[in-house]
């Protein structure tokens, strides 16, 4: 059985990733890309579906005499994991990492610290998501003239099946056959045992052995160099020009090196999130957007009367005034704690961006259930236009020019498929893949189905289109010029948006129920047109600003008429509705209303009443009558809760924002990683892991605090 989701640590080589459990088992590893078939699949099954266990024998067969304890952490600002095992008075340290210089490998080093510890190593090799067991062959090392025996340090075990192959190196070599290999060995203080596993195409020779010290040093340097680019913005009154960045010497091995020229040097005061600080000043306010558009009082009375009894059972309608927090009320975690959480989240984004293609995956896993035993199981090893655009905003703010260029160019390549029919989701390289396959695996704690592929990518989502255009507006406002490809593609998106006004879709959440006209989707169309108008009027781009302005005002009129419920003083989930969902928190993020607009504050109150868990975290929406195509209700959502925390902070409720941020940080695991949801009934994470959208949202919250 797999470990709890929160018990896993992420390893990454910026092209794929692996999950190591607290028990010392690598239960998930896709090679050579994030979206490749899994080599280790025990996460969605058991040991027979592939894993690599390396842990004290006492941890697997507990002794009544020896106590076993573990401590783990990343080496500062890296994804080099160190786990110290204490077995009675003895101890060992295991260092796990993925080299960053060529190939796809995992390296594990066992170092004796005190006493003697007997270690168990179990290597179960699989391909094709656990379906294929490779033929394994052991190759002895050359004969040592001094002993007349093969050199064990140069032995290797090669597992091969069709196009795939793995080579395992290390001494002692585990014994076994047919891909299942097990061994025990004793580690004494001062001893080191290094093991490595590398993927390669079976029509090639095995890659050369990995030099542990060299590859570890390079990995530490690369991760630390990237995190060292972090721009810690000073308060406005003491802001200074940032120093020139260092450590960016091209190696010639990274495809992204050729893309840096697409992004100019950006100022340190670039905005955060969906709209830059300067861009927010340029966006028309909601009142301006609706100039000349009369508000219709009680426009949703008929919709309320249809189901008012049910509504009043769901929420109370009394309105409490919003009182800004005072400094005396703000007594939560230290600013340093928040900065560290932000830096870890930035590192997670770098770990989930493909160095080869520039695509950001939603997570490295598939089919981890949003509700244990339920059917809300999706493949997150894909790139969402929305997430990539949001990630580009935060890399822009923090001085990561290369990653900003990678993300930008990935979006352009993906949209070039057909910008008049953009999808919400693309493959890691920007390809279209609308096949949703079922894998013959037991599923995480029996949760079915287990999926490979994401069938949602053929559906139009207004939020994806809008977020892309908002982000490109943000780039323009921060000095990033358009090129021969970027602006024509944006114009094609705007033409596509003009055809989608008032059209039903499946919302930002890609529901499986009936399509509807979601207010948030229409607001994102408004944001798209607004970005188009500003491109022409403020940046001199060629385009039909008159048409886009008319479209913008038409959408604004419909949103204020049908997407806002005057009786509730709240925007609503769908036109003419009376319920809310958390996507409405993005209305202020994209500038449709201000953070402290009374209608926005009223929407926040309805979100608190309808969606908030006693912990303070919130659900995405209430699944009334199977609205989203499923019978159950999913747990509170990490990213949604962080959106609410940002709203609190930016509307003067800093104490509440900090408290909610603290709750989220407590729900994250000990390494600062978050999945998509948290089930407070069982005190467990649920959903795919680690979730890029949650980490993007955390970065935004800390930026809102101005630290």
Give a yes or no: residue 262 inside a domain.
no
The string over 493-518, giving b where at least 16 C-beta atoms fall within 10 Å of a residue's C-beta and e elsewhere, is bbbbbbebbeeebbbbbbbeeeebbb
- Specify whether the CB–CB gap between 499 and 525 falls below 8 A: no
The CATH number assigned to the domain holding 608 equals: 1.50.10.10
Same domain, yes or no: 183 and 288: no
- Specify whether the CB–CB gap between 441 and 129 falls below 8 A: yes
Residue at which a domain ends, from 204, 225, 248: 204
DSSP 19: E
Q: How many CB atoms lie within 10 A of CB 465?
A: 27
Phi, then psi, of 159 in degrees rounded to 5? -105, 130
Which residue is associated with the tokens 């005034």?
A: 321
* pLDDT tens, position by position, 670-683: 999 999 999 999 99
Same domain, yes or no: 644 and 561: yes
Residue at which a domain ends, from 204, 236, 257: 204
**Dihedral sign for Cα atoms in the order 663, 664, 665, 670:** positive
Report the relative pairing of strands 684-686 and 677-679 from DSSP bridges: antiparallel
Same domain, yes or no: 277 and 190: no
The CATH number assigned to the domain holding 183 equals: 2.70.98.10
* Count of residues making up the chain: 707
Same domain, yes or no: 312 and 461: yes
Within 576-671, residue ranges assigned H as helices are: 586-589, 598-611, 638-650, 654-667
Same domain, yes or no: 336 and 200: no
* pLDDT tens, position by position, 249-305: 333 343 333 333 333 333 333 333 333 333 333 323 333 333 332 232 323 323 322
Between CA 240 and CA 300 the distance in angstroms is 50
* pLDDT tens, position by position, 316-373: 222 333 344 444 444 568 899 999 999 999 999 999 999 999 999 999 999 999 999 9
Residue at which a domain ends, from 204, 219, 243: 204
Give a yes or no: residue 236 inside a domain.
no
Tell me what the mean pLDDT of segment 522-526 comes to. 97
Same domain, yes or no: 189 and 286: no
Q: Which domain holds residue 15?
A: 5-204
Q: What is the pLDDT, as a whole number, of residue 275?
A: 32
Give a yes or no: residue 232 inside a domain.
no
The string over 556-589, giving b where at least 16 C-beta atoms fall within 10 Å of a residue's C-beta and e elsewhere, is bbbbbbbbbbbbbbbbbbbbbbbbbbbbbbbbbb
Residue 527 pLDDT exceeds 60:
yes
Q: What is the pLDDT, as a whole number, of residue 297?
A: 31
pLDDT band at 236 (very low <50, low <70, confident <90, very high): very low
Same domain, yes or no: 606 and 687: yes
Give a yes or no: residue 561 inside a domain.
yes
Same domain, yes or no: 426 and 285: yes
Give a yes or no: residue 226 inside a domain.
no
Prediction pTM value: 0.86
Between CA 78 and CA 97 the distance in angstroms is 9
Q: What is the pLDDT, as a whole number, of residue 150?
A: 75
Same domain, yes or no: 379 and 492: yes
Give a yes or no: residue 25 inside a domain.
yes
Give a yes or no: residue 565 inside a domain.
yes
Give a yes or no: residue 689 inside a domain.
yes
Between CA 288 and CA 284 the distance in angstroms is 6
Q: What is the pLDDT, as a whole number, of residue 147?
A: 77
Q: What is the pLDDT, as a whole number, of residue 62?
A: 74
Same domain, yes or no: 177 and 311: no
Domain count, the chain: 2
């Amino acid at each position: 059985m797999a470990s709890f989701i929160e018990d896993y640590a992420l390893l990454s080589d910026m092209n794929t990733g692996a999950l190591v459990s607290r028990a010392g088992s690598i239960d998930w590893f896709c090679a050579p890309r994030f979206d490749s078939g899994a080599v280790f699949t025990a996460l969605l099954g058991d040991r027979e579906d592939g894993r690599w266990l390396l842990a004290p024998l006492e941890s697997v067969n507990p002794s009544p005499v020896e106590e076993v304890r573990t401590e783990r952490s990343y080496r500062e600002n890296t994804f080099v994991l160190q786990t110290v095992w204490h077995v009675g008075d003895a101890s060992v340290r295991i260092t796990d990492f993925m080299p960053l210089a060529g190939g796809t490998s995992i390296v594990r080093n066992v170092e004796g610290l005190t006493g003697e510890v007997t270690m168990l190593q179990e290597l179960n090799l699989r391909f094709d998501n656990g379906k294929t067991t490779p033929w394994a062959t052991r190759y002895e090392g050359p004969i040592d003239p001094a002993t007349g025996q093969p050199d064990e340090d140069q032995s290797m075990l090669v597992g091969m099946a069709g196009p795939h192959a793995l080579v395992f190196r290390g001494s002692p070599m585990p014994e076994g056959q047919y891909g299942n290999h097990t061994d025990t060995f004793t580690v004494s203080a001062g001893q080191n045992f290094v093991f490595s596993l590398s993927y390669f195409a079976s029509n090639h020779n095995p890659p050369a052995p990995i030099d542990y010290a060299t590859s570890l040093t390079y990995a530490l340097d690369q991760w630390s160099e990237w995190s060292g680019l972090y721009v810690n913005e000073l308060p406005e009154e003491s802001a200074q020009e940032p120093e020139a960045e260092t450590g960016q010497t091209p190696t010639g091995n990274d495809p992204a090196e050729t893309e840096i020229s697409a992004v100019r040097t950006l100022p340190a005061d670039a905005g955060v999130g969906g709209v830059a600080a300067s861009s927010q000043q340029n966006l028309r306010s909601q009142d301006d957007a609706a100039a000349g558009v009369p508000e219709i009082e009680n426009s949703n009375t008929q919709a309320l009367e249809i189901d008012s009894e049910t509504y009043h059972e769901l929420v109370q309608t009394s309105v409490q005034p919003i009182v800004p927090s005072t400094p005396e009320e703000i007594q939560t975690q230290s600013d340093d704690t928040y900065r560290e959480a932000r830096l870890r989240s930035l590192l997670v984004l770098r770990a989930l961006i493909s160095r080869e293609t520039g695509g950001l995956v939603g997570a490295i896993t598939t089919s981890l259930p949003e509700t244990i035993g339920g059917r809300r199981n999706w493949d997150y090893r894909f790139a969402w236009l929305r997430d990539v655009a949001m990630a580009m905003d935060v890399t822009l703010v923090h001085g990561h020019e290369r990653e900003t260029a990678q993300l930008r160019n990935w979006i352009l390549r993906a949209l070039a498929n057909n910008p008049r029919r953009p999808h919400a989701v693309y493959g890691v390289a920007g390809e279209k893949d609308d096949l949703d396959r079922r894998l013959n695996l037991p599923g995480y704690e029996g949760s079915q189905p287990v999926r490979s592929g994401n069938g949602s990518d053929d559906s139009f989502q207004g939020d994806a289109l809008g977020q892309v255009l908002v982000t490109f507006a943000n780039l323009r406002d921060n000095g990033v010029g358009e090129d021969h490809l970027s602006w024509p593609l944006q114009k094609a998106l705007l033409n596509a948006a003009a055809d989608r006004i008032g059209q039903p879709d499946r919302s930002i959440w890609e529901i499986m129920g009936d399509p509807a006209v979601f207010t948030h989707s229409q607001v994102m169309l408004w944001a798209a047109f607004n970005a188009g108008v500003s491109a022409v009027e403020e940046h001199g781009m060629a385009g039909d600003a008159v048409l886009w302005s008319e479209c913008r005002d038409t959408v604004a009129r419909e949103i204020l008429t049908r997407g806002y419920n005057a009786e509730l003083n709240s925007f609503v989930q769908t036109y003419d509705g009376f319920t809310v969902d958390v996507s409405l928190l993005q209305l202020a993020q994209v500038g449709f209303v201000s953070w402290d607009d009374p209608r926005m504050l009223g929407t926040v109150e309805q979100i608190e009443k309808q969606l908030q868990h006693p912990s303070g975290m919130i659900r995405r929406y209430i699944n009334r009558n199977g609205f989203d195509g499923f019978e159950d209700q999913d747990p509170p959502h990490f990213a949604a809760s962080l959106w609410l925390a940002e709203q609190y902070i930016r509307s003067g409720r800093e104490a509440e924002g900090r408290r909610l941020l603290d709750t989220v940080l407590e729900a994250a695991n000990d390494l600062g990683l978050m999945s998509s949801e948290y089930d407070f009934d069982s005190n467990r994470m649920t959903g795919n892991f680690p979730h890029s959208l949650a980490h993007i949202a955390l970065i935004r919250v800390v930026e809102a605090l101005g630290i």
